[in-house]
Structure 1
Amino acid sequence: MTTFQIIGDDFVLDGRPHRILAGTLHYFRVPRAYWADRIHKARLMGLNAIETYVPWNLHQPAPGTWVAEGRLDLGGFLDAVAEEGMQAIVRPGPYICAEFDGGGLPAWLFSDADPTDPDVASAGTATPVRSLDPRFIEPAGDYLRRVYDIIVPRQVDRGGPVILVQIENEYGAYGRDHGYLRALAELTRAAGVTVPLTTVDQPSGRMLEDGTLPDLLTTGSFGSRATERMAAVRRAQPTGPLMCSEFWDGWFDQWGDHHHTTPAVDSARSLAELLGLGASVTLYMFHGGTNLGLTNGANDKGLYRPITTSYDYDAPLDESGHPTEKYWAFREVLGRFTDLPDEVPCPRPPAPTPSGAFSAVISLSEVLGRLGSWRSSRVLPTMDALGQYRGFLACRATLPAPIAEGAPALLTVSEVRDRAIVESQGRRLGVLERMDHDTSVALPAGTRVLEILVEDMGRVDYGPRIGEHKGLVGPVLVGGREVTGWEVLALDLSDLSPVREALEREALPDGTPLPRAGQAGPPDVGRASFLGATVRLARAEDLFLDTRRWGHGLVWMNGHLLGRYNRRGPSRTMYVPAPYLRAGDNELLVLETDPVPAMTWSFLESPDLGPVDW
Structure 2
Amino acid sequence: MPVLQTDKAGFLLDGRPFRFLSGGLHYFRVHPEQWRDRLRKARLMGLNTVETYVPWNLHQPRPDRFVLDGGLDLPRFLELAAAEGLHVLLRPGPYICAEWEGGGLPSWLLAEPDIRLRSRDPRFLAAVDDFFGRLLPPLRPHLASRGGPVLAVQVENEYGAYGDDTAYLEHIADSLRAHGVDVPLFTCDQPVDLERGALPGVLATANFGSRSAHHLAALRARRPEGPLMTTEFWIGWFDRWGAHHVVRDPARAAGELDELLATGASVNFYMFHGGTNFGFTNGANDKHTYRPTVTSYDYDAPLDEAGDPTEKYTAFRDVIAKYAPVPGGPVPAPGAKLTVPGITLTQSAELLPNAAALAPGIDSRRPLTMEELEQDFGFVLYETALPLPGPTLLEVEQVRDRAQVFVDGQPVGVLERENHERALAFTVPRAGSTLSVLVENQGRVNYGQGIHDRKGLLGAVLLDGAELADWTSRPLPLTALEDITFTAGTTTPVGPAFHRGTFEITEPADTFLHLDGWTKGNAWINGFALGRYWSRGPQRSLYVPAPVLRAGTNEVVVLELHAGHRARTVDLLDTADLGPTEE
Pairwise TM-score range, normalised by the shorter structure: over 0.9
Please point out which of 290, 295, 302 is paired with 1:304: 290
Q: Give 1:137's aligned residue.
A: 125
Deviation at 1:350, TM superposition (A): 4.7
Q: Which amino acid aligns with 1:394?
A: L
Gaps of 5+ in 1: 113-123, 506-513
Q: Give 2:443's aligned residue.
A: 458
Q: Which amino acid aligns with 2:9?
A: D
Q: Which amino acid aligns with 1:65?
A: R
What secondary structure, in the 3-state scheme, does the structure 2 residue paired with 1:384 have? coil
What secondary structure, in the 3-state scheme, does the structure 2 residue paired with 1:414 have? strand
Deviation at 1:542, TM superposition (A): 0.7
Aligned partners of 1:548 and 1:572 also within 8 Å: yes
Partners of 1:194 and 1:489 lie apart in 2 by 46
Partners of 2:529 and 2:358 lie apart in 1 by 16
Q: Give 1:290's aligned residue.
A: 276
Q: Give 1:3's aligned residue.
A: 3
Deviation string, structure 1 residues 545-589 (Cα, Å, up to 9, x no partner): 002311111111101111111111110000000000011110101
| 1:85 matched to 2:68 | no
Partners of 1:471 and 1:157 lie apart in 2 by 46
Q: Give 2:343's aligned residue.
A: 356
Alignment of 1:136-285 (within 5 A): 136-204=124-192, 207-285=193-271
Aligned partners of 2:396 and 2:461 also within 8 Å: yes
Alignment of 1:412-561 (within 5 A): 412-446=395-429, 448-499=433-484, 502-503=485-486, 514-515=488-489, 520=490, 524-561=492-529
Deviation at 1:157, TM superposition (A): 2.6
Partners of 2:268 and 2:135 lie apart in 1 by 21
Q: Which amino acid aligns with 1:572?
A: R
Q: Give 2:544's aligned residue.
A: 576
Alignment of 1:118-137 (within 5 A): 124-125=113-114, 127-137=115-125
What secondary structure, in the 3-state scheme, does the structure 2 residue paired with 1:168 have? coil
Deviation string, structure 1 residues 63-92 (Cα, Å, up to 9, x no partner): 122101111011111111000011011000
| 1:612 matched to 2:575 | no
Partners of 2:428 and 2:505 lie apart in 1 by 51
Deviation at 1:214, TM superposition (A): 2.7
What secondary structure, in the 3-state scheme, does the structure 2 residue paired with 1:451 have? strand
Deviation at 1:100, TM superposition (A): 0.3
Q: Give 1:119's aligned residue.
A: none
Q: Which amino acid aligns with 1:270?
A: E
Partners of 2:191 and 2:362 lie apart in 1 by 51
Deviation at 1:150, TM superposition (A): 2.9
What secondary structure, in the 3-state scheme, does the structure 1 residue paired with 2:339 have? coil
Partners of 1:331 and 1:584 lie apart in 2 by 39
Q: Give 1:41's aligned residue.
A: 41
Aligned partners of 2:388 and 2:428 also within 8 Å: no
Partners of 1:299 and 1:2 lie apart in 2 by 39
TM, length-normalised to structure 2: 0.97
| 1:15 matched to 2:1 | no
Deviation at 1:487, TM superposition (A): 1.6
Partners of 1:194 and 1:395 lie apart in 2 by 49
Q: Which amino acid aligns with 1:605?
A: D
Aligned partners of 1:51 and 1:89 also within 8 Å: yes
RMSD between superposed Cα atoms in Å: 1.3
TM, length-normalised to structure 1: 0.92
Partners of 2:563 and 2:480 lie apart in 1 by 25
| 1:391 matched to 2:359 | no
Deviation at 1:146, TM superposition (A): 2.4
Partners of 2:343 and 2:107 lie apart in 1 by 39
Q: Give 1:511's aligned residue.
A: none
Deviation at 1:191, TM superposition (A): 2.2
Partners of 1:492 and 1:30 lie apart in 2 by 21
Q: Which amino acid aligns with 2:408?
A: Q
| 1:104 matched to 2:104 | yes
Partners of 1:161 and 1:383 lie apart in 2 by 39
Please point out which of 557, 561, 578 is paired with 1:593: 561
Deviating 4+ runs (over 3 angstroms): 348-351
Partners of 2:385 and 2:578 lie apart in 1 by 43
Deviation at 1:99, TM superposition (A): 0.3
Deviation string, structure 1 residues 455-500 (Cα, Å, up to 9, x no partner): 111000001111221111221111111111112211242221112x
What secondary structure, in the 3-state scheme, does the structure 1 residue paired with 2:177 have? helix
What secondary structure, in the 3-state scheme, does the structure 2 residue paired with 1:376 have? strand
Deviation string, structure 1 residues 371-429 (Cα, Å, up to 9, x no partner): 011221112222222212211111111122212xxxx2211112211111111112110
Deviation at 1:248, TM superposition (A): 0.3
Partners of 2:407 and 2:270 lie apart in 1 by 47
Deviation string, structure 1 residues 146-177 (Cα, Å, up to 9, x no partner): 22213322112311101010101001001111
Aligned partners of 1:45 and 1:340 also within 8 Å: yes
Deviation string, structure 1 residues 332-383 (Cα, Å, up to 9, x no partner): 1011011111133003555323322112112112321110112211122222
What secondary structure, in the 3-state scheme, does the structure 1 residue paired with 2:244 have? coil
Deviation at 1:525, TM superposition (A): 4.0
Farther off after superposition, 181-190 or 88-97: 181-190
Please point out which of 534, 542, 547 is paired with 1:566: 534
Aligned partners of 1:289 and 1:318 also within 8 Å: yes
Q: Which amino acid aligns with 1:55?
A: P
Aligned partners of 2:157 and 2:187 also within 8 Å: yes
Identity across matched positions, percent: 49
What secondary structure, in the 3-state scheme, does the structure 2 residue paired with 1:187 have? helix
Deviation at 1:6, TM superposition (A): 1.1
Partners of 1:348 and 1:361 lie apart in 2 by 34
Partners of 2:218 and 2:515 lie apart in 1 by 45
What secondary structure, in the 3-state scheme, does the structure 2 residue paired with 1:450 have? strand
